[in-house]
Amino acid sequence: MVMVLTGLWYASVCAVAALLVGWWTRPLYAGPLVLAGLFCLYFFRDPEREIPSGPVAVAPADGRIVAVVRQADGSTRISTFLSLFDVHVNRSPIAGTILKREYRPGKFHIASREIASAQNEQNVLVIEGEGSQVVVKQIAGILARRIVCYKRPGEQVDRGERIGLIQFGSRVDLILGPEWEITVAAGQRVRAGADIVARKRSS
């Protein structure tokens, strides 16, 4: 199991604090810090995924799909809610080039609510590849206050490649044009990089 380095750092801090508390007081008092460290290791896990091939778009995040919305411009938004217990590493839905990266400040509504897509703090990536442009929005939630994006404009990404991380509960929106046929529905659970959410329509 691969681990995000941030998780190792948090777990190390908890371990040191637990040792100090256990040394200066009672070992029992160090228990909550030990549990916090173990949770950090669990939260920041980064499992390898088998990436599907073909003209498909994969889920950018682990979690439960809370909305599949046809928008006024003909595009479709797929919104995935990540609970505290989901893997929080985000992956690119397609192979291509990062055209744009934009940080948008905002509020911190509960990430599962529809209002979060428009009003919450978010990082927006536009990716061009496979004959289309797609948009990935990393959206902060009521607990998630730190969005990490690994990619910059001009960089190449592979389908399923790691592109970022949102800490402690969040939401990821994927916006696809009308050239994509959506293959998922609200309520379905998906795994980033592994599960197909759309297929390219034949031209």
CA distances 96 to 22, 85, 160, Å, are 51, 30, 11
pLDDT confidence of residue 3: 41
- Position of tokens 């088998």? 50
Predicted confidence (pLDDT) per residue in 162-201, tens digit: 999 887 768 999 999 999 999 999 999 999 999 999 999 9
Give catalytic status of residue 112 as yes or no.
Answer: no
What is the 3-state composition of the chain as percent helix, strand, coil, each rounded to the nearest 5?
Answer: 20, 40, 40
Q: H or E segment at 141?
A: none
pTM confidence score: 0.82
**What pLDDT is stored for residue 14 in this prediction?**
47
Give tens-digit pLDDT for 88-115. 899 999 999 999 999 999 888 888 888 9
Q: Coil, strand or helix: which one is 23?
A: helix
CA distance 147 to 57: 22
As given in the structure block, the two tokens for residue 84 are: 């505290």
Q: Of 92, 112, 117, 170, which residue is the catalytic one? A: 170
Parse the chain into domains and list their residue ranges.
2-46, 56-200
The DSSP code for 120 is B
Contact between 158 and 95 (Cβ < 8 Å):
yes
Element (H, E) at 81: strand 76-82
For the stretch 47-76, pLDDT in tens is: 899 999 999 999 999 999 999 999 999 999
- Using one digit for the tens of pLDDT, what is the confidence trace for 120-173? 999 999 999 988 999 999 998 876 567 889 999 999 999 999 999 887 768 999
- Give the closest residue to 176 by CA, choosing from 106, 97, 94: 94
**Alpha-carbon distance 23 to 19, whole Å?**
6
Give alpha helix (H) positions in 113-195.
Answer: 116-119
User: What value does the CA radius of gyration of the chain take, rounded to a whole number of Å?
Assistant: 18
CATH of 56-200, picked from 1.10.3470, 2.70.70, 1.20.950, 3.10.28, is 2.70.70
Q: How many helices (H) and strands (E) does the chain have?
A: 3, 16
SS3 168: coil
